[in-house]
């Protein structure tokens, strides 16, 4: 049995047959996870400095040299690393007084902050399978982003209290700007929003729950939704990036909606985290510093603020360590251009735009396949996994420890 690290569902029931160091046959792995597992055989990185191949030891020493001489180093990535590597990363940041940030900074951070702090009630995915009768996919499309979400937890499986499952007892609702693959499965309960119309829709739901006439075009459908939500015994909302980006600083409205729903019945929220261990980093950093991301250790104490987010730190830093992420592809163009001019140390199992532009490249083992460790699923459950194939490449944790020793 192997664990897939392709998305934050961390499916544990993967059966892989390994022959001659390659994967000949994999069972139960979705298309996304299959692609992730096959990635181990193509486009692997080699240790290099300025595009010249060197041995691993030299690359690690060069990385340590860059970080030691930097005045405002930035450590970024982390969402695709194990908890052990993240802990080593936070220790490294403390030691060199660096700014540390992960992908949640411009992703699910706003929501994750509230979930971990407990202002928005949450539950585990196993609770969803056992008790939930209404699942709302808001601004998310799990069929594409987390393919096994519906079949493992939220809609199709039978649970303790939901033996008749999707046929009679479960309802799934999609709220999205387009008719996504998931919305097609929800048939009657698909609500199309205009881009940015999430706040208005939330207000409409609250007014329906209060027994008022909502200020939307399709009042009848909205009242039907209100009735369905009131009849729900255990509901779960899965907010995706679509909702988080649309709400931004109005996230308290979502808090209000959750509070109002919980006055009537039980409602929980589980953010649809993309990277497999983003929540792990958020929880770990919160334990250490009290903040989930955007932390600077400059001057010894942990400081939090928008100036420490990757978007501004990418411009103000003088060296960057990027681990398990490809910021040059994913960040906005201006920020990516500013970052590309800085000396970058890239720790990545595979080639990407960032490793191509990096000054120092350190190859690492692909976690889940070549390296074991612990990760936190999107709902906060810790999952431990073992490697399934042997590799000579060092794990993220080993690399970071060696860099720290060299410093």
Partner 1 sequence: MVGAMEIYMLLPKTNCKKCGLPTCMAFAVGLLGREKKVDECTPLVEEKKYEAKLKKLREVIAPIENASETGLIIHPEKCFGCGNCVVACPVNVAADPTRCGVGLGPQSDKVILKVEDGVVVCNNLKECRRFGPNKTLCNACTVTCPSKAIEFV
Interface residues toward partner 1, by CB under 8 A = 13-15, 25-35, 129, 143-144, 147-148, 150-153, 155-159, 166, 181-182, 184-185
Q: How far is the CB of 172 from partner 1 (least distance, A)?
A: 11
Q: Are 96 and 88 in contact (CB under 8 A)?
A: no
Tell me whether residue 77 or residue 147 sits nearer to partner 1 (CB atom): 147
Residue for token pair 């735009």: 353
Tell me whether residue 29 or residue 346 sits nearer to partner 1 (CB atom): 29
Tell me whether residue 127 or residue 283 sits nearer to partner 1 (CB atom): 127
Could you tell me the strand order of the sheet in which 303-304 lies?
52-53, 48-49, 360-362, 344-347, 319-323, 73-77, 99-102, 295-296, 303-304
Burial 295-329 (b: 16+ CB within 10 A, else e): bbbbeeebbbeeebbbbbbbeebebbbbbbbbbbe
Strands 382-385 and 373-376, bridge-based pairing: antiparallel
Q: Are 206 and 260 in contact (CB under 8 A)?
A: yes
Q: How far is the CB of 30 from partner 1 (least distance, A)?
A: 4
Q: How far is the CB of 309 from partner 1 (least distance, A)?
A: 33
Tell me whether residue 11 or residue 284 sits nearer to partner 1 (CB atom): 11
Q: How far is the CB of 125 from partner 1 (least distance, A)?
A: 10
Tokens of 131: 């008790």
Q: From CA 19, how far away is CA 27, in angstroms rounded?
A: 15
Q: How far is the CB of 84 from partner 1 (least distance, A)?
A: 27
Q: How far is the CB of 25 from partner 1 (least distance, A)?
A: 7
Q: From CA 302, how far away is CA 32, in angstroms rounded?
A: 37
């Amino acid at each position: 049995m192997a664990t897939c690290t392709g998305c934050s569902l961390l499916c544990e029931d993967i059966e892989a047959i390994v022959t001659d160091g390659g994967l000949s046959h994999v069972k139960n792995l979705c298309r996304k996870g299959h692609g992730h597992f096959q990635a181990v055989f193509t486009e692997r990185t080699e240790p290099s400095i300025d595009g010249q191949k060197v041995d691993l030891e030299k690359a690690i020493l060069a990385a340590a040299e860059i970080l030691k001489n930097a005045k405002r180093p930035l450590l970024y990535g982390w969402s695709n690393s194990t908890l052990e590597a993240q802990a080593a990363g936070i220790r490294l940041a403390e030691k060199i007084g660096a700014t540390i940030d992960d992908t949640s900074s411009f992703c699910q951070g706003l929501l994750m902050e509230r979930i971990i702090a407990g202002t928005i009630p949450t539950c585990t995915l196993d609770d969803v399978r056992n008790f939930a009768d209404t699942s709302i996919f808001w601004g998310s499309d799990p069929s594409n982003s987390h393919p096994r979400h519906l079949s493992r937890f939220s809609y199709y499986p039978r649970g303790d209290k939901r033996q008749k499952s999707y046929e009679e007892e479960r309802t799934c609702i999609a709220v999205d700007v387009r008719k996504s693959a998931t919305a097609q499965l929800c048939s009657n309960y698909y609500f199309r929003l205009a881009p940015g119309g999430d706040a208005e829709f939330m207000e409409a739901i609250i007014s329906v729950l209060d027994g008022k006439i909502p200020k939307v075009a399709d009042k009848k459908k909205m009242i039907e939704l209100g009735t369905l939500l009131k009849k729900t015994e255990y509901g779960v909302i899965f907010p995706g990036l679509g909702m988080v980006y649309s709400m931004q600083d109005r996230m308290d409205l979502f808090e209000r909606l959750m509070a109002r729903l919980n006055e009537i019945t039980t409602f929980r929220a589980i953010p649809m985290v993309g990277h497999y261990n983003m929540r792990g980093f958020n929880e770990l950093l919160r334990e250490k510093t009290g903040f989930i991301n955007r932390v600077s250790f400059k001057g010894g104490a942990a400081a939090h603020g928008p100036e420490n987010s990757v978007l501004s730190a990418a411009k103000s830093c003088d060296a960057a360590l990027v681990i398990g992420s490809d910021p040059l592809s994913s960040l906005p163009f201006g920020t990516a251009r500013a970052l590309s001019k800085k000396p970058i140390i890239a720790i990545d199992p595979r080639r990407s735009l960032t490793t191509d532009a990096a000054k120092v490249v350190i190859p690492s083992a692909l976690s889940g396949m070549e390296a074991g460790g612990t990760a936190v699923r999107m709902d906060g459950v810790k999952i431990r996994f073992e490697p399934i194939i042997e590799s000579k490449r060092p794990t993220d944790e080993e690399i970071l420890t060696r860099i720290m020793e060299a410093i």
